[in-house]
Chain A
Amino acid sequence: DTAVSQTPKYLVTQMGNDKSIKCEQNLGHDTMYWYKQDSKKFLKIMFSYNNKELIINETVPNRFSPKSPDKAHLNLHINSLELGDSAVYFCASSRNRGLGEQYFGPGTRLTVT
Chain B
Amino acid sequence: GENVEQHPSTLSVQEGDSAVIKCTYSDSASNYFPWYKQELGKGPQLIIDIRSNVGEKKDQRIAVTLNKTAKHFSLHITETQPEDSAVYFCAAMRGGADGLTFGKGTHLIIQP
Known: A90-B43, A107-B42. A100 touches B87 (CB 8 A): no
Interface size class, chain B: 20 to 34
Which chain B residues border A33 with CB–CB below 8 Å?
A: 98-99
A35 to B38, CA, bound (A): 14
B89/A45 in contact, CB under 8 A:
no
Which chain B residues border A57 with CB–CB below 8 Å?
A: 99
Residue of A nearest to B43 (CB): A104
Q: Which of A56-92 contact B (CB under 8 A)?
A: 57, 90
Which chain A residues border B87 with CB–CB below 8 Å?
A: 41
Is A27 interfacial (CB-CB < 8 Å)? no
B102/A42 in contact, CB under 8 A:
yes
Is A1 interfacial (CB-CB < 8 Å)? no
A98 → B minimal CB distance (Å): 4
Known: A55-B98, A98-B95. A41 touches B43 (CB 8 A): no
Interface residues in chain B, defined as those with a beta carbon under 8 Å from any beta carbon in chain A = 32, 34, 36, 38, 41-46, 49, 51, 87, 89, 93-102, 104-105
